[in-house]
Amino acid sequence: MIISIASGKGGTGKTTVAVNLALSLHNVQFLDCDVEEPNAHLFLKPEIHSQNIATIPIPQVDEALCDYCGKCREICAYNAIAIFPGKENARGSVLVFPHLCHGCGGCSLFCPRSAISEIPREIGIIEQGYSGDIEFIHGKLNIGEIMSPPLIRQVKAYTNPEKTVIIDSPPGTSCPVIGSVRGSDFCILVTEPTPFGLYDMTLAVEVLEKLRIPFGVVINRSTIGNRSIDEYCRIKNIPILMHIPFEREIASLYSQGIPFVREKNEYRKKFHDIVRLSEIQQMVYRK
Amino acid sequence: MQTRHAVDSGIALVEDTMKQIAIISGKGGTGKTILTASLAVLAENKVMADCDVDAADLHLILHPDIREHHEFRSGKIAVVKSWLCQGCGECVTACRFDAISDNFMIDPIACEGCGVCSHICPSAAVCMEENRSGEWFISDTRYGPMVHAALGVAEENSGKLVTLVRQHATRIAEDERRDYVLIDGPPGIGCPVIASLTGADLAIIITEPTLSGMHDLERVAQVARHFNIPAKVVVNKFDLNTTNTERIKQTTKDKGIDVLALLPFSEQVSRSIVRGVPLIEYGNGQIVKEIKMLWEKIKD
């Protein structure tokens, strides 16, 4: 089963829930898909066994073959190629803007003179290891890099369906989030009971409805703010999976990188129950 | 104040005294919007730009009256004309984004609009259609004009929408000779963050004394340095872990980054959000005093 953790608003406790859930279950694979700001390793402290460079293919033009016909520029939907045709005796030139390239391969596929090949461009790294018996994988986007979705796809390629796969996703509602949560059997939305938490959660709910992923809600810092999330979930018939009260002890453990189930054992059962609840929700959803 | 440089995101080359301040964080939920809303009260003669177009929240505090409403169209999406399709499967093989199923249905969420399928189709059965992917607004608030947006859920190109919001905020600031553009940035270090940051005069990075906050601060500070934006740091909820706060002070000092303010944990923050008022107008005590002092330090 694949369970993803998402939120809409940032800083509501996705990583906290993902990590503590992972520690409460057996046979777990943990994928940290928040490749812009991965944090789960700070809590799970995995021993890293392998590092792989993540790349996307970008075009390389062999100017000996190129006649500056402009087909590649015409094909490229991202304006990642510019062409300066030759004038009289001067040769032309082709410029590739690697940061704009999505790696679709169209330019090399359609070049009439087969002058374009593809070379890998590094966008980040993927690290794999173990934290106890949890298999751990995360991606780290390089600084200044904008292409997080391909890196997220590459992290998710490690998914092992034999295990309970827990995916920690980035905040928001756009492409990086979609890339992380799609294909999950169930999604846990983590929010906080404030108007910010509520508004951003309604956006996340729309995303999950669009992707047809069954989901439930964890209300974090449930004792601060108001009752708006409980109300919203009641009206929309969304299951509330857990309330985590605001406690200085939990906040302090978090600040030190200690998953709170290590100190508060009673929560292991609660996290375990979330999975059983999610199985029921999935059955209901399929009907 | 430095002269802004033309940047590839399309912010116009201007020489003036207008100051663009971007509030960013790396980690989400550290207090960007709370701080932006408070600065919106303190700064005189400014424009606000909510650049967290994925999950915009500033409007919940500043309550804008929408003056102009525009559609945001961006990118294209493949559409199969099933009556022309011969079922050859060329498009499925060529698509690198797994956006076409074996029975030739396009997954609009996976489609990145590259158009390879429409070019390769031998029977011209795939066409590319323009994608409406959000909306953006110019509004009035009690505190001045505000430009904000709502990216359609599950859409891409948030960087482009951020750039659009910033361009219009800058234009208003220029036309109305306003002194500041206050940018409420998104979390992370990727596309929308870079679009929020490029060409700004100052980045205020707000963090918290947790391992995650510290780790993310490090990465986002590198992004600011990469784009040559001067950065200053605010530590929120500094008293939740004073050991970590000391470590942040030390590491930022080593890197030559100023710590502008240490804000204490206060339940007034969530109460002010529930009331929908800027913290600075709702609260009192140390946190409000610190934010006022912070503004005095950066306003010139």
More confident residue, A287 or B199: B199
State the number of CA atoms in the 13 A half-sphere of A247 facing the CB: 8
Contacts of residue B241, Cβ cutoff 8 Å, sequence gap at least 6: A252, A255, A256, B209, B210
Mind listing the pLDDT tens digit for each residue in A169-214?
999 998 899 999 999 999 999 999 999 999 999 999 999 999 999 9
Q: How far apart are CA B228 and CA B197, in angstroms?
A: 10
Q: How far apart are CA A248 and CA A270, in angstroms?
A: 20
Which alpha helices (H) appear in A143-194, and where do they start and end? Answer: 148-156, 175-181
Q: Share the mean pLDDT of chain A.
A: 95
Query: Strand runs (DSSP E) across chain A, as ranges?
Result: 2-6, 28-32, 47-61, 81-84, 93-96, 116-131, 134-141, 164-168, 186-191, 215-220, 240-244
> If one looks up domain B19-63+142-298 in CATH, what number appears?
3.40.50.300
Check residue A92 and give its pLDDT. 85
Judged against a pLDDT cut of 70, whether residue B4 lies above it is answered with no
User: Can you list the domains of chain A with their CATH numbers?
Assistant: 2-27+163-286 (3.40.50.300), 55-121 (3.30.70.20)
Check residue A240 and give its pLDDT. 96
Of A157, A152, A144, the closest CA to residue A34 belongs to A152
pLDDT level of residue B16 (50, 70, 90 thresholds): low
DSSP per-residue codes, A77-119 = TT--EEEE--BTTB--EEEE-GGG-----HHHHH-TT--EEEE
Check residue A167 and give its pLDDT. 98
Structure tokens at A240: 């509330």
A18 to A158, A185, A244, B190, B219: CA distances (angstroms)? 18, 15, 13, 22, 22
Judged against a pLDDT cut of 70, whether residue A220 lies above it is answered with yes
Percent of chain B topping pLDDT 70 = 94
Check residue B155 and give its pLDDT. 80
Mind listing the pLDDT tens digit for each residue in A90-105?
788 899 999 899 999 9
Nearest to A200 among B55, B189, B240 (CB): B55
List, by residue range, all CATH 3.30.70.20 domains of chain B.
74-131
More confident residue, B10 or B279: B279
Nearest to B57 among A75, A200, A225 (CB): A200
Check residue B153 and give its pLDDT. 82
Average pLDDT score over residue span B252-259: 96
Judged against a pLDDT cut of 80, whether residue A232 lies above it is answered with yes
Note whether A11 contacts B270, CB cutoff 8 Å.
Answer: no
Note whether B189 contacts A77, CB cutoff 8 Å.
Answer: no
pLDDT level of residue B8 (50, 70, 90 thresholds): very low
Of A175, A181, A242, the closest CA to residue A12 belongs to A242
The distance of Cα B285 from the centroid of its chain, to the nearest Å, equals: 29
Chain B nearest C-alpha distance from A206 (Å): 7
Interface test with A, best of B62, B74, B111, B114 (most A CBs within 10 A): B114
CATH of B74-131, one of 3.90.79.10, 1.10.10.60, 3.30.70.20, 1.10.10.10: 3.30.70.20
Average pLDDT score over residue span A117-145: 97
Chain A nearest C-alpha distance from B26 (Å): 7
Q: How far apart are CA A246 and CA A225, in angstroms?
A: 10
Report which DSSP code applies to B95.
-
Mind listing the pLDDT tens digit for each residue in A50-90?
999 999 999 999 999 999 999 999 999 999 999 988 777 77
Mind listing the pLDDT tens digit for each residue in B151-179?
988 787 788 999 999 999 999 999 999 99
Interface membership of A182 toward B (CB under 8 Å): yes
Q: How far apart are CA A155 and CA B95, in angstroms?
A: 20
Mind listing the pLDDT tens digit for each residue in A1-29?
999 999 999 999 999 999 999 999 999 99
Per the CB < 8 A criterion, the answer to whether B130 and B76 are in contact is yes
Q: Share the mean pLDDT of chain B.
A: 92
Interface test with B, best of A107, A145, A175 (most B CBs within 10 A): A175
Interface test with A, best of B126, B153, B214 (most A CBs within 10 A): B153
Percent of chain A topping pLDDT 90 = 89
Interface membership of A225 toward B (CB under 8 Å): yes
Average pLDDT score over residue span B168-194: 96
Give Dmax (Cα) for chain B: 72
State the number of CA atoms in the 13 A half-sphere of B248 facing the CB: 34
Structure tokens at B152: 């359609």
End-to-end CA distance of chain B: 8
| Chain B residues touching residue A74 (CB < 8 angstroms) | none
Judged against a pLDDT cut of 60, whether residue B38 lies above it is answered with yes
Nearest CA in chain A to B26: A37
Chain A nearest C-alpha distance from B175 (Å): 31
List, by residue range, all CATH 3.40.50.300 domains of chain B.
19-63+142-298
Note whether B240 contacts A110, CB cutoff 8 Å.
Answer: no
| Chain A residues touching residue B158 (CB < 8 angstroms) | 172, 174-175
One-letter amino acid for residue A89 of the chain: N
Note whether B55 contacts A172, CB cutoff 8 Å.
Answer: yes
Report which DSSP code applies to A58.
E
A81-84/A93-96 β-pairing: antiparallel
